[in-house]
Structure 1
Amino acid sequence: MLSFLRIKDFALIKSLEMELGPGLTVITGETGAGKSIILAALSLILGQRATSGLIRENSDSAVVEALFELSQPSPAGDLLEDPQEDRELVIKRVVNQQGRNRVQINGSLANLSRLTELAPFLVSICGQHAHQSLLSPEEHLYLLDAFANLEENRRQVEKGVAELKKLSNQIRKTQKDLADRELKRDFLNLQINELEAAGLDPAEEANLKAERSFLANAEKVMRLGSGADHTLYAADQDSVLENLSKVRDMLIDLARIDPRVKTMADTVEEAYYQLDDVGTELRDYLAGLSFDHGRLDWLESRLASLQRLVRKYGGDVESALKTLEQAKRELAGLEKGEDTLKELEGKYSRVLEQTLALAGDLSTGRKDSGRKLARAVEGELKELGMEHCRFEIRFKHPNANALETEKGPLSPSGLEEVHFYLAPNPGEGYRPLAQIASGGELSRILLALQALAAHKRSAGLQVFDEVDAGIGGAIGSAVGRKLARLSKDMQVICITHLPQIAAWGDRHFVVRKEVANGRTITNLIRLDQDKRIHELTRMLAGEGDGQAAREHARQMLSAAFEQKQNPRPVV
């Protein structure tokens, strides 16, 4: 239960405090006075996002603070990390001009997600646009699930369908990859065969270039080698060895005369034999030379082939070899594609089976509860002046965003759509709400559904914002009676324009817009009995003169009080 609400510097509100209690609280006021501002402030407590535009002009920040008294046990209390012994929950929101938000829960900082987690267990709001949403089959489904306590079941189906769609996308991608696999395999095999056939070696190119350089200089090699041999052993002139032999012999003879020359003679003799060895090696070298021009052509071709390959596969031999290894790895990875597809398809089948089982149970629960809800709605509408109205719930296969299964289309909401049908008058057939329901009928149907669903919700406070749209005085009194009866089981706040509804309140607040010091402000005033009569008289003024309206207001309050004290049995 919401026991206290404080609003400061929020929109047109400078400062406002609202003390509440159990039962039915009504809020009235002229159009544009700011009744919706109070609801907007309450929405902030429930986790709605805020902007600096909500802050009162020339103020630094807006503050909204609410005190809830929790029942025992309470789902909201169970969510609190440190529940208070007195079962009180204090929520505070502060919004500053920089757009920063501060959230406090029982004095401790928290985040918005924490508020949205708590909100369903604190307050349920039926806002101004609920009448239009009532025309949507999606809203019909949500209302039925709320009535039947099937909301968690639906969330499980939503989770399963989301997983199925994810797996389906993965399967399609894997199938596409497999379809492209043969082309990819051929391409990789082509790379591997080409690179392996090349027999690449990081040192080969340098060796080939050296050999090519040698063969390209064959004539020069032969000329120089032969020239050196001829110089060493020439027969037609003094050769190097013959002249060196003469020098050696002269030094040997000289050494016999002067022993000091012996070392020189020995050195020349050693040089002679070394040159003779060089000459022998040179002749062997010349004899082993082979200048095959075909070999030179092969070297040129091989080098061109290597250069073409390295340009194609990375710019050098090392990069080409890395490409070869990568191609081998990718080829091995392609072989795993079929196993991956089988695993995904197996998982899809398992999740589908589980989700269909959940959806089947959900369908059974909806159809069983659908009949009960239809009868219950008819009973509620009878109390709201629609005695002859017949209400029916029909189920259809979902059309959009559904997966085809053996049990029919499966959407995130299950195996069916829910549609509300109405036959408002005797002798008329059932037709969709959108085709036949007037504004007043929609308001009463909405109230009936919300009243039935409210008993299934965990929220301790139900808020109705202008549930009186399109209805008049007599029906307004029936709506007020319904709200008063609902408030026996939970706290109810109703924002209304109808005096017939306002008369049923256990407490009555009026919202007024005033101008003070050139500034417009919205005030909230709790009315005593005399002021309630005055406010109801204002609301009734269009029905007659002031005195008659005042007497009518007094009678409405008296009648509502008497009926609340001695409620009529529901037929």
Structure 2
Amino acid sequence: MAAAFRSAPVTSHATYLSEIRIRNFALILEQQVHLTPGLNVITGESGSGKSVVIAALSQALGAPADDDLIRPPSETATAQAVFCLSAAGVATAKMSLKRMEVSDRAIPNAAGQLILSREISRSLGDRGPKRSRCSINGVTVPLRCLRELAAELVDMNGQHAAQSLREAAMQLRLLDRVAGCRCQAAHVAQCWERYQQLRQQMADIASVGGPEQRLSLSTLIASVEQSAVEPGEERQLRGKLRQLEARQDAAEQCQLASMLLGSNSGAVGAGLQNAEQTLRLILSQEMAHANSITQMQSSSVADTDEGDGADMIGSALEGLQEARRLVTSADRQVKQYARQFGLQEDQKAALGSRLRMIERLFKQNGLRTSEDLLEAATQAQDALQRWDDLEGRQDEIQGEMERTEAEMLAAALQLSRQRKAAVQSLKASVESCLADLAMPGSCFDIDLRWQLAHEGDGHYVNSNDAKLLNMQSGTYKLGPHGLDHATLQLAAGPSEPLRPLSMVASGGESSRIMLALKAAPIHILEATHDERPQPASDASQDIPIMVLDEMDSGVGARLGGVMGRLLQRMAATSLSQLLCITHLPQVAACASSHICVSKRPGADGRIQTVMHSLITQEMRNEEMSAMMGLQ
């Protein structure tokens, strides 16, 4: 029997992800992935579904849902992330849940178990997912709560994470992580958000202005209420007026048509009447003639022709009578139309008056449509309501805004000092990592700058505060991330000048720099301890769990051993757990837990992604041999 592989012992003082549960997700029917503290690797052939595991974990942590997540023909997909929290982790989670106003039933139990769950459903008839049900320890919560809590536990890094180095916000977040000032950065963001709210309240008061402005708003509201304007009413009125005018013209034409159809001289009716009288006379003559020859022999041709003449005239007379009836009916309908639609001046005047009144409201308020008018009235109502709510509090709000600005500026200056103090240690740590990752002689730096702002659009920093950061006094922009604007800089060789990373780093270099930035806390911790670093605990961590999806794809196999040892040190020193998808056997050899992913036909004949833990050294050796192409 093969000897069991000894994984790293479970440390109760650290927070880690213990299990991922997946059902009806992409190619996965139902799987459970068991993880341990330390370095966990996921391997398998290309296309086997390794990234599906990370995608499912991302869903459990609140990532946006893609269209093809649910495995057909199922209508739902489920992803769960099960965490084991340390005592400090439980306390942190409890505070977060309280802040988000989540039920106490979601608080982790005595064993520190925390289950984040998400069920994604799609609507009937649609292909893509439409709804999701989120829960924390069985308590239904909004997706936002799932995301916020997960962000405190897991640092997710997808396949294109290195590209995010070009984002200024990401550069500051990486610096804050190394500097250990995420809490300070969050405090600055909270102060900034509150300051913006207070500024908006002052703007609301100013937007209403003095008594004249309020009177104007009140007049607008009253005019709209009294007029009872409906959405699109002016277009309906214009359409009705056009219809009335068209029918009035038609009524005049109908009067002319009635004259042509009637009994007037030269009209159709008079002509038909004259023709009927003529035919009646002819028919009488034919009938008299027919009676006079009744006693004659009927075999002659002439006799037959004489009888046919009466029949023809009789048939023609019947046609004329039907024509007169139809013409009389048509004349009656035409006259009725002319009477009904030719005398609508009152209605036309009323519609025109209503339209002119609405158009006057448009002109008075500089608007073009009834929808704009109603929206303006709603905004006016809201503005007056805000003014009523804030009336008498202007001095109070102004005072709170000034205090918040002072607190925000002080917090931002403190954050800048912490960041600046961390730059040198981060620079040394990244350069050390880059040397290990086959980029010797590379120089790395972070350029921190403040941006000047126009008067009234920034915040003044006096000379004493600015001097501490080698800046000059002035008015600077202050945003949710503070005063600083960071630019990562790289010199690929000792003789090369420092240039922005986005301009000089290749894809592989970006991957290595990202890894070096993630690993920087190792060097900082090791530099501050003379003895060998102890396993990670919550006290030494920022976010305890890190996920890397093929971070080594741009590095290459030559550096596999270096990467593996680096990831191993990260998991043992600055993190409690690291989950990594890798194609490199050297990285897999350094793991404390190894999961292999493969595809195979299911019972229904459909392809499924399956996962199994390699619990013996023999099983791991076999997989690493396959990764090296030796099988």
Please point out which of 136, 140, 147 is paired with 1:105.
136
Q: Shift of the alpha carbon at 1:345?
A: 4.4
Give the Cα–Cα distance (whole angstroms) in 1 for the partners of residues 92 and 191 of structure 2: 27
Please point out which of 9, 17, 33 is paired with 2:48.
33
Q: Secondary structure at the match of 1:73?
A: helix
Amino acid at match of 1:141: L
Do 1:398 and 1:411's aligned partners in 2 also have CA atoms closer than 8 Å? Answer: no
Corresponding residue for 1:420?
Answer: 488
Q: Shift of the alpha carbon at 1:453?
A: 5.5
Corresponding residue for 1:476?
Answer: 560
Q: Secondary structure at the match of 2:553?
A: coil
Q: Secondary structure at the match of 1:488?
A: helix
Amino acid at match of 1:385: A
Unaligned runs of 5+ in 2: 1-15, 98-103, 124-129, 219-386, 462-475, 523-535
Do 1:403 and 1:411's aligned partners in 2 also have CA atoms closer than 8 Å? Answer: no
Corresponding residue for 1:255?
Answer: none
Give the Cα–Cα distance (whole angstroms) in 2 for the partners of residues 86 and 340 of structure 1: 50
Please point out which of 66, 80, 85 is paired with 2:110.
85
Instruction: Give the stretch that moved more between structures: 35-44 or 452-461.
Output: 452-461
Instruction: Give the stretch that moved more between structures: 45-54 or 23-32.
Output: 45-54
1:322-401 alignment to 2 at 5 Å? 345-398=398-451
Corresponding residue for 2:330?
Answer: none
Q: Shift of the alpha carbon at 1:165?
A: 3.3
Give the Cα–Cα distance (whole angstroms) in 1 for the partners of residues 420 and 490 of structure 2: 17
Corresponding residue for 1:532?
Answer: 620
Give the Cα–Cα distance (whole angstroms) in 2 for the partners of residues 183 and 539 of structure 1: 75
Amino acid at match of 1:163: R
Q: Shift of the alpha carbon at 1:176?
A: 5.4
Corresponding residue for 2:593?
Answer: 507
Unaligned runs of 5+ in 1: 189-333, 551-571
User: In 2 relative to 1, CA 150–518 (structure 1 residues): closer, same or farther, beyond 3 Å?
Assistant: same
Give the Cα–Cα distance (whole angstroms) in 2 for the partners of residues 161 and 73 of structure 1: 29
Q: Secondary structure at the match of 1:463?
A: strand
Give the Cα–Cα distance (whole angstroms) in 2 for the partners of residues 173 and 73 of structure 1: 43
1:427-446 alignment to 2 at 5 Å? 427-446=495-514
Corresponding residue for 2:169?
Answer: 138
Amino acid at match of 2:460: E
TM-score between both structures, scaled by the size of structure 1: 0.62
Q: Shift of the alpha carbon at 1:379?
A: 2.4
Q: How many residues align?
A: 399
User: In 2 relative to 1, CA 354–537 (structure 1 residues): closer, same or farther, beyond 3 Å?
Assistant: same
Give the Cα–Cα distance (whole angstroms) in 1 for the partners of residues 179 and 581 of structure 2: 28
Q: Shift of the alpha carbon at 1:444?
A: 1.5
Q: Determine if the alignment matches structure 1 residue 7 to structure 2 residue 22.
A: yes
Corresponding residue for 1:291?
Answer: none
Q: Shift of the alpha carbon at 1:530?
A: 3.8
User: In 2 relative to 1, CA 340–480 (structure 1 residues): closer, same or farther, beyond 3 Å?
Assistant: same
Q: Shift of the alpha carbon at 1:13?
A: 0.1
Give the Cα–Cα distance (whole angstroms) in 2 for the partners of residues 106 and 183 of structure 1: 54
User: In 2 relative to 1, CA 96–453 (structure 1 residues): closer, same or farther, beyond 3 Å?
Assistant: farther
Corresponding residue for 1:42?
Answer: 57
Do 1:419 and 1:432's aligned partners in 2 also have CA atoms closer than 8 Å? Answer: yes
Amino acid at match of 1:83: P
TM-score between both structures, scaled by the size of structure 2: 0.57
Amino acid at match of 2:599: K
Task: Note the alpha carbon deviations across 1:415-461, whole angstroms, 9 max, x for none.
Answer: 11111111221111111111111222211111121223597644432
1:185-200 alignment to 2 at 5 Å? none
Corresponding residue for 2:192?
Answer: 161
Q: Secondary structure at the match of 2:163?
A: helix
Q: Shift of the alpha carbon at 1:38?
A: 0.6
Give the Cα–Cα distance (whole angstroms) in 2 for the partners of residues 175 and 122 of structure 1: 44
Give the Cα–Cα distance (whole angstroms) in 2 for the partners of residues 491 and 33 of structure 1: 24
Amino acid at match of 2:50: K
Give the Cα–Cα distance (whole angstroms) in 2 for the partners of residues 518 and 399 of structure 1: 65
Q: Shift of the alpha carbon at 1:384?
A: 2.4
Give the Cα–Cα distance (whole angstroms) in 2 for the partners of residues 450 and 52 of structure 1: 31
Q: Determine if the alignment matches structure 1 residue 486 to structure 2 residue 570.
A: yes
Amino acid at match of 1:491: Q
RMSD: 3.5
Please point out which of 557, 560, 581 is paired with 1:495.
581
Do 1:76 and 1:122's aligned partners in 2 also have CA atoms closer than 8 Å? Answer: no
Task: Note the alpha carbon deviations across 1:80-109, whole angstroms, 9 max, x for none.
Answer: 634322222233333334455444433444
Amino acid at match of 2:491: A
User: In 2 relative to 1, CA 346–38 (structure 1 residues): closer, same or farther, beyond 3 Å?
Assistant: same
Task: Note the alpha carbon deviations across 1:539-562, whole angstroms, 9 max, x for none.
Answer: 333xxxx4xxx6xxxxxxxxxxxx
Give the Cα–Cα distance (whole angstroms) in 1 for the partners of residues 617 and 86 of structure 2: 30
Give the Cα–Cα distance (whole angstroms) in 1 for the partners of residues 214 and 410 of structure 2: 41
Amino acid at match of 1:78: K
Do 1:70 and 1:76's aligned partners in 2 also have CA atoms closer than 8 Å? Answer: no
Give the % identical residues. Answer: 36
User: In 2 relative to 1, CA 385–52 (structure 1 residues): closer, same or farther, beyond 3 Å?
Assistant: closer
Give the Cα–Cα distance (whole angstroms) in 1 for the partners of residues 500 and 547 of structure 2: 27
User: In 2 relative to 1, CA 118–162 (structure 1 residues): closer, same or farther, beyond 3 Å?
Assistant: closer
Corresponding residue for 1:208?
Answer: none
